[in-house]
Chains A and B, each alone.
Chain A
Amino acid sequence: MRGSSAGMADVLFPVPFDADLLPFVAGFDCGPDPWEQEPSHWIQEHALEAIALGTKVWLYMNQQDLVVGFSSLDVSKSLLRYPTPKSPRVPVLVIPELGLKKEFKGEPKAERTSDPNTDGRYSSQIMRHLLDNAHQWQGNMQAVSLYVDPRNGAAIRLYQRFGFASYGTPYKEPHTGISYDRYAVRLAR
């Protein structure tokens, strides 16, 4: 076992997720709230369908060899055509789902800083990995967007630390009735 107790930062290792790794997300639990149950359910029951259609999904393992969370990235199918509906489509990425196991939220506390460039918390490491990959994505992507349940304050604070800002009226999911806030950050060129 490698550990942070010896003074080494608890750096996460990403691994591309696929069907072979499904047993490693059995019982994945982000917490009891509805906005926590959604990613828990998604990674176990829905992620493979998204991967088959091109979504990238990663699991993250810490220095103690434990799976702490997952993230995902894809090209958004919400068409951004502006200033008119006939304007050329602007390519934008989307983070479809992101989840951290409940026992790792806010961890490791000892490595917390207010700077998103150096904050050692797992949530910040996952966001850095996502944004680094977004910058490498082919196709001149202009921004990274996401949808978040407005009751999920911890996630919103994380996104805001990385420069995400809310935009437009919320998206109301027609089946559940949940309204999701839209957030986005531009990709620096």
Chain B
Amino acid sequence: MSSTNEGHAPPWMTFAEAYEEQWKSDHDLAMKWWDRKEWVENLVATGLDVYGVLKTREAQWREQVFRGSVAFSEKQEQQFRRAHDLWVRTTRAILEQLVDGLEQQFDEVTGVEKLRQELPIVEATLRDWKSPRLSMAVGLREHQLPEDAAAALDRIIHCATPLPYAPKQPVQELSAEEFKRRARQ
């Protein structure tokens, strides 16, 4: 099991910070509406990109911890939470302070609808945050079979002895609705 790189901020954290920096950067409030629209749309596009990166990296980290290929690290978890929090605060500010005014001038501001859809998802992720943990079932963990086990499993796979059970079509499954209708707890 490897440990994570604890010494440096991971690239996705830098990406989230850059999103906030881009939002905070001086912008000419007197700029023409068209220029302003383009500037905001670039900001929204960055927000969507950062969301995608955070979502992917968080899912990868969670699976790595679950499979046992990476040890759980509180520091890394704090970084993920901070990056999500940064994204939420920046996105709220963009939507409230920039987009609302623009939408009164233009029919559509590219990317805004998607950003609006994603904001409550990330808010809920933060609110209901659950730390990842190592799989309790050892069969779901990731590890290389030792040589003796690999050789023995290979022999099982290539064994010609008849098997005691002849497989059939799986039996029909109940739907969850049917199950709930019937089940006695």
Contact = CB atoms under 8 A, between A and B. Distances in A.
The judgment on whether A and B are partners is yes
Interface of A: 11-16, 18, 20-21, 23-24, 26, 38, 41-42, 45-46, 49-50, 53, 55, 58-59, 61, 64-67, 72, 74, 76-83, 85, 90, 92, 94-97, 115-117, 127-129, 131-136, 142-143, 145-147, 161-163, 165, 167-169, 171, 173, 175, 180, 182, 184-186, 188
A15 B175 contact: yes
Q: What interface size band does chain B fall in?
A: 35 or more
Interface of B: 63, 66-67, 133-146, 148-159, 163-176, 178-180, 182-185
A132 B169 contact: yes
A129 B182 CA distance: 21
A18 B165 contact: no
Nearest to B133: A49
Given A41-B136, A46-B136, A117-B165, A61 B182 contact: yes
Contacts of B159: 186
Given A78-B145, A94-B140, A168-B152, A132 B167 contact: yes
Given A46-B135, A50-B140, A85-B144, A185 B174 contact: no
A83 B158 CA distance: 13
Given A117-B166, A167-B149, 20 more contacts: A13-B171, A20-B176, A21-B180, A24-B179, A42-B137, A55-B140, A74-B140, A78-B144, A79-B142, A80-B154, A90-B157, A96-B135, A115-B164, A132-B170, A136-B170, A168-B150, A168-B153, A169-B146, A171-B143, A188-B166
B97 to A, nearest CB: 36
Given A132-B170, A171-B138, A67 B144 contact: no
Contact of A13 (B63, B149, B165, B174): B174
Contact of B182 (A20, A41, A65, A79): A65
B184 A167 contact: no
Contact of A14 (B155, B174, B184): B174
Q: Is the interface of A mostly helix, strand, loop or mixed?
A: mixed
Contact of A80 (B139, B150, B178): B150
Nearest to A14: B173
Nearest to B185: A24
18 contacts: A21-B179, A24-B185, A53-B140, A80-B150, A81-B144, A81-B150, A82-B154, A131-B165, A142-B157, A145-B139, A161-B164, A162-B165, A167-B149, A168-B149, A169-B146, A169-B148, A184-B156, A186-B156
A39 to B, nearest CB: 9
Contacts of A180: 138
Contacts of B153: 80, 82, 92, 143, 145, 167-168, 182, 184
B158 to A, nearest CB: 8
- Among B133, B143, B165, B168, max chain A CB count under 10 A is at B165
B63 to A, nearest CB: 6
A55 B159 CA distance: 28
A167 B140 contact: no
A161 B172 CA distance: 24
Closest 10 A/B residue pairs (Cβ): A168-B149, A167-B152, A96-B137, A77-B142, A132-B170, A94-B139, A15-B179, A96-B139, A15-B174, A135-B167
Given A61-B182, A117-B166, A143-B156, A182 B149 contact: yes
